[in-house]
Structure 1
């Protein structure tokens, strides 16, 4: 299908730029662009998101901006919770999953749009955030509150990864911005590492249970990797605020289209 490669590349590009956008759009792209069901699209989306995120995380590690201890903690909790998400995905009907996905996307897009348009109103850093960097070392100051916060973020991301076939970046990036004082480049790089670890562990579990990714799915995965490489190369040259606004508008549009497909299945084909 002619749409496979551009759709995959667009997903990888968006994720490389924002650390979040591509993961949440991968399933809708496969559902609406290629006509797959939610359950068929989920493992392909996870493979594309996981492998391309791993490529982006390697770039972040090379630049020494990945908070790898935080990423490891979130990935462990996320992987454990992803199994619960997989179980829920086999119980909940496909139409309900699609409606849930649409609602989550709409909420995320509205919040991200509000945050992006309000960025210029005041300073980004707040002293009361649970996870703060140590000014002397530049590393996170680990406390019980910080560890609990990061564990909760990872668990939530993993649940959505297993249930909806997303990488979890749409949870991780906004949560990192809210609860830590890490800069945006570090947030994106760390998010990509968590996404890679959770997604690859989840898709590995799915494949071990007998699910197979078709050839068209691997074409989508390869295209996403190419898009990721381009996105990481261009990320430092694009204003994060503009990217967040663009992603929020795209996510809102996709959420509405998915909701329409659930309510009126024959209307959009």
Structure 2
């Protein structure tokens, strides 16, 4: 149980610091650290990431930096795709799922190591109304938010991740929201998508072992710690450290799947 606590704390801490890392690390932590297979790790990871993200989202709501209407809308779009993702996860061989997951992790690591590109001169489709300070629900903006939510939901069901690794860069690319607002909104969306996917999985008869519940509780504690520590660490250092860790875990997963 001690290892479950440590791994859960680290998972929640990474999610709290980056707004996007918990889901990527939760599945490998459960597989490599606690001996879960991919199918059994996914629902535990979803529950842990969802519960931890909820802690962060509540903190963002308290600070009035969550775009909750956008988060709920994207979550609804994601929920429509979650069941499809779960069906895909049960239909494909575990080695293929691990390979896809590792490739995504390596891609994320490479993106995070690069310097952030300058914002394009053209207005993004999702932008704030300067008069009200709220998002303008234009046709292009609504379609963009729907697409982000749908893709996040699909990966949530298929790979047991919250989708933050897609949500954060997507909102940075397609909106003019500030980074603090993006992270808080991402956490709320991750919570809604992950917890809805967990509910579907549990309704289908999935059982969470005792070590899984310990992992979930520790992840929530790690999130609370991460939200307190994040303002005191340079974002560039966080991105660099997380990208290196993500790449290392991806390589270990591939080696374990193909060589062991």
**TM norm structure 2:** 0.97
Name the SS for the 2:125 alignment partner: coil
Name the SS for the 1:3 alignment partner: helix
Aligned partners of 1:35, 1:124: CA distance in 2, in Å? 43
Give the aligned partner of residue 146 of structure 1.
141
Give the aligned partner of residue 192 of structure 1.
187
Does the 8 Å CA contact 2:119/2:173 hold for their aligned counterparts? no
Describe how 1:160-199 pairs up with structure 2 within 5 A.
160-199=155-194
Q: What is the total number of aligned residue pairs between the two structures?
A: 260
Is residue 225 of structure 2 the alignment partner of residue 227 of structure 1?
A: no
Q: 1:159 aligns with which of 154, 163, 174?
A: 154
Question: Shift in Å at residue 137 of structure 1?
Answer: 2.2
Is residue 101 of structure 2 the alignment partner of residue 106 of structure 1?
A: no
Give the aligned partner of residue 201 of structure 1.
196
Question: Shift in Å at residue 205 of structure 1?
Answer: 0.6
Name the SS for the 2:2 alignment partner: coil
Does the 8 Å CA contact 1:50/1:167 hold for their aligned counterparts? yes
Does the 8 Å CA contact 1:125/1:181 hold for their aligned counterparts? no
Question: Shift in Å at residue 124 of structure 1?
Answer: 4.4
Aligned partners of 1:184, 1:90: CA distance in 2, in Å? 36
Aligned partners of 1:125, 1:58: CA distance in 2, in Å? 32
Describe how 1:112-123 pairs up with structure 2 within 5 A.
112-114=112-114, 118-119=115-116, 123=118
Does the 8 Å CA contact 1:14/1:231 hold for their aligned counterparts? yes
Question: Shift in Å at residue 126 of structure 1?
Answer: 4.4
Does the 8 Å CA contact 2:88/2:158 hold for their aligned counterparts? yes
Aligned partners of 1:219, 1:173: CA distance in 2, in Å? 28
Question: Shift in Å at residue 123 of structure 1?
Answer: 4.9
Give the aligned partner of residue 89 of structure 2.
89
Aligned partners of 1:124, 1:3: CA distance in 2, in Å? 42
Gaps of 5+ in 2: none
Give the aligned partner of residue 13 of structure 2.
13
Aligned partners of 2:158, 2:176: CA distance in 1, in Å? 30
